[in-house]
Structure 1
């Protein structure tokens, strides 16, 4: 598959552009110890690629009888902000180089993230990446989050591209399923979650990094 054959590319953000999922997990594990919550790692992993609403529902089912979930969620966000302020929000290897390559070749590039639009803009601005994206869709701009295809279909519509001629770069089960359901061309770059056989049956390619994606399109 060559870039010239594509209408565009849409990226997920957390775990794809930014190495941020591990920060979220660390915040939840800190809170698990603080409040004596069990199976925190497993439940946090379920939230990867999910919208705020879906995440709150997962946490409510697991811990709603023990703590206030809105307060817990706000505390987790505050911990994440502190970690990022202290360490910065690291980019995934190859992210800037891949985005630069796509921009040089006038490829339409979108971003479809379960994070709120405001949060996405803040992160992209902070990393100096905002200008690489023609369209940005946040999780608060849709009704049905990943694994439903709505966010990707909206991104494609706003980009003016055909889903079946557009690559989606994802790291999670929910993200790949959303791209697959949108009839896009899913490329998986796994982060914290190893792909299952089901996921591998949905992807066009599995690659180890964005560096590998860049080399693939250069070939």
Structure 2
């Protein structure tokens, strides 16, 4: 195919924030005597929207707070953790620079909010690589539905089948595949199930290792 755009997830793929989200949800549950294992976070909450996760956690653990109070709690804890700096994932800077040098449109398709996503990209000095943005808050259905990837492709004026999508989570791989894109998976906290990995064009350990994969597509 002729590559028209490269579309990236954010959390756990470009920036090392999945472990931060896990700690935040642990902080939410701890006062009520509950705990969330790393495996539970990875299986049930990784790659999902913040609203989905807050609603699910409140219901699952019977946490005595409203969804809006949950949002306020998460926002406050994010400010705390992000003040400690959140680093790029290995190879992210290399791959973004490589794509930019070759004139490939680069977009973000994230379950995050715009303010948070832009802040993380600017904090790490890579905001300038991105020409288009799409957020799950803008579409009817979050990942694993394909909506946010399709919106990103539309904003790039690209055909989905001519896009390569980079994802780390099971929900993200399912979403990008459902959008008809070529998927490159870089697993983070939890390696997706074998049947999900089978949907990916390639599975690589870091984003830098994706460069030869994309080069073969160009």
Counterpart for residue 161 of structure 2: 164
Moved over 6 A (4+): none
Deviation string 1:69-116 (CA, Å, 9 cap, x unpaired) is: 43244223322221221x201101111111111111100111100001
- Do the aligned partners of residues 207 and 172 (structure 1) sit closer, same or farther apart at CA in structure 2, a change above 3 Å counting? same
Using the TM superposition, give the Cα deviation of residue 34 of structure 1 relative to its aligned residue in structure 2, in angstroms: 2.6
Residues matched between the structures, number: 215
Using the TM superposition, give the Cα deviation of residue 33 of structure 1 relative to its aligned residue in structure 2, in angstroms: 2.5
* Distance in 2 between residues matched to 1:104 and 1:170, nearest whole Å: 22
Counterpart for residue 78 of structure 2: 80
How do residues 9-88 of structure 1 correspond to structure 2 at under 5 angstroms? Answer: 9-39=6-36, 41=38, 44-45=41-42, 46-64=44-62, 66-85=64-83, 87-88=84-85
Using the TM superposition, give the Cα deviation of residue 57 of structure 1 relative to its aligned residue in structure 2, in angstroms: 2.6
Using the TM superposition, give the Cα deviation of residue 182 of structure 1 relative to its aligned residue in structure 2, in angstroms: 0.5
* Distance in 1 between residues matched to 2:190 and 2:38, nearest whole Å: 12
2:93 is paired with a residue whose SS is: helix
- TM-score w.r.t. the length of structure 2 is 0.90
- Do the aligned partners of residues 65 and 92 (structure 1) sit closer, same or farther apart at CA in structure 2, a change above 3 Å counting? closer
* Distance in 1 between residues matched to 2:195 and 2:49, nearest whole Å: 22
* Distance in 2 between residues matched to 1:98 and 1:105, nearest whole Å: 11
Counterpart for residue 131 of structure 1: 128
Say which of 99, 109, 114 aligns to 1:112: 109
Using the TM superposition, give the Cα deviation of residue 26 of structure 1 relative to its aligned residue in structure 2, in angstroms: 1.5
Counterpart for residue 208 of structure 1: 205
- TM-score w.r.t. the length of structure 1 is 0.90
Using the TM superposition, give the Cα deviation of residue 67 of structure 1 relative to its aligned residue in structure 2, in angstroms: 4.0
1:9 is paired with a residue whose SS is: strand
* Distance in 2 between residues matched to 1:100 and 1:41, nearest whole Å: 32
Q: Identify unmatched segments of 5+ residues in structure 1.
A: none
Using the TM superposition, give the Cα deviation of residue 43 of structure 1 relative to its aligned residue in structure 2, in angstroms: 5.0
Q: RMSD over aligned Cα, in angstroms?
A: 1.9
Deviation string 1:178-212 (CA, Å, 9 cap, x unpaired) is: 00110111110000011211211211100000111
* Distance in 2 between residues matched to 1:53 and 1:194, nearest whole Å: 23
